Amino acid sequence: MQTVDVKGFKLPIVGLGTWQLTGRDCARLVEQAIRLGYRHIDTAQMYGNEAAVGDGVRASGKRAEVVVTTKVQPERLAPHDLERSVKESLHKLRLDVIDLLLIHWPNPRVPLSETLGAMAHMKSEGYVKQLGVSNFTVALLDEASKVSSEPLVCNQIECHPFLDQSKVIAATRKHGMAVVAYSPIARGGAAGDAVLEKIAKAHGKSAAQISLRYLVQQDIVVIPRTSKIGRLEENLALFDFALTEAEMTEIRALSQRQGRIVDWSWSPKWD
C-alpha cells in the first residue's frame, strides 16, 4: 500500500471510512477490507461503531500492520473529558493503542491549547501514537501549530472534485501535515458527472475511481466509505493507471466554493 510520509509517520493513502457502518456488518467489512489490502481504518466516537471496528481489526489477524484512526467529539474536548473519552474509545476498540487520534470538530468554547495539551498527555501516557485534527480552517491550523507541544500529522477535511479546498490544503501542507479526504467521491456524487464519466471511460474505470485517483495523485489520503464488498476492491484499484495533466486540469475545473456537502452546527467559518 502506498503511503504518505509525514513527520516520520507513514499514513496509507487509501483507507476505509466507517461512518454509518454498525454491528456485525461493520466488523465483517473491516475484516474483509484488511484482507484485501487496506491498512488504514477510520472511525470516530460520534459514529458509535468503535467496538465493531475493533472486532474487525482483530479478526483480520493483521493488527500490527493497520493504522486505526478515531476522533474525539466536540463536546468532549475539555481536558478531563478528553482523557476520559480516549480511554473509553480504547476500551471499546479493545486494541493495544490508538494509532491516530483526531479532534473531530473544533469547539470554540474550549481553548485549543487545553485540548491539544490533553491529547499530548494521552500520547505521552501511551494511549495514542499520533495526533491530528479534522475540519480545521487556515486560522485554526495556524493556531494549532503554535500551541501544540506534539507534532500534528494530518488535517482530515471534506475533499472531492466538486469542492474548492485549495486554501486549506495549502495551509495544511505549509504546516507539514497530510491532507486526509473524507467524502472523496462526494457521497456518490461522482457517478453521473459528465466529465468524470468521460475520463472514466477512457481509462476503463468508474467515475468514483477517477475521483479517488484525482486525489491520490496529489498525495491526498482518501477514506471512502462503502458497505459493499465489491466496492472495497474497486476503491483500492487506483494504482494501475494515471490521469494526464490535461485530465487533472479538467477535473480541477469542477471545483467550486459552494460544493460543500458536510456542514452542521459545529462547523467553523469555512475558508
Specify the pLDDT at position 217. Answer: 98
Specify the pLDDT at position 238. Answer: 98
159-168, 225-234, 257-266, range with the lowest pLDDT: 257-266
- Say what the alpha-carbon torsion angle 125, 95, 175, 166 is, to the nearest 10 degrees: -150
Contact 222, 14 (CB under 8 A): yes
Residue 214 falls in the annotated catalytic set? no
pLDDT surpassing 90 at residue 265 = no
pLDDT surpassing 90 at residue 112 = yes
Looking at residues 63-84, what average pLDDT do you find? 98
Top-level CATH class of 3-252?
A: alpha beta
Q: How far apart are CA 87 and CA 83, in angstroms?
A: 6
Contact 23, 45 (CB under 8 A): no
Output DSSP code: residue 256: B
Name, in order, each residue with C-beta under 8 angstroms of 35's C-beta and a sequence gap of 6 or more: 60
- What percentage of the chain reaches a pLDDT higher than 70? 100
Which candidate in 38, 47, 127, 182 is catalytic? 47
pLDDT surpassing 90 at residue 246 = yes
Helix (H) or strand (E) holding 59: helix 50-60
Q: How far apart are CA 65 and CA 76, in angstroms?
A: 29
What is the three-class DSSP state of 157?
Answer: strand
Specify the pLDDT at position 264. Answer: 82
Looking at residues 21-44, what average pLDDT do you find? 97
pLDDT surpassing 90 at residue 26 = yes
Q: Model's pTM, two decimal places?
A: 0.97
Residue predicted with more confidence, 258 or 152:
152
Q: How far apart are CA 155 and CA 135, in angstroms?
A: 7
Name, in order, each residue with C-beta under 8 angstroms of 7's C-beta and a sequence gap of 6 or more: 151, 153, 176, 177
* Domain ranges (residues) in the chain: 3-252
51-55, 134-138, 259-263, range with the lowest pLDDT: 259-263
pLDDT tier, 266 (very low <50, low <70, confident <90, very high otherwise): confident
User: Which grid coordinates belong to 149?
Assistant: 507541544
Looking at residues 130-142, what average pLDDT do you find? 98
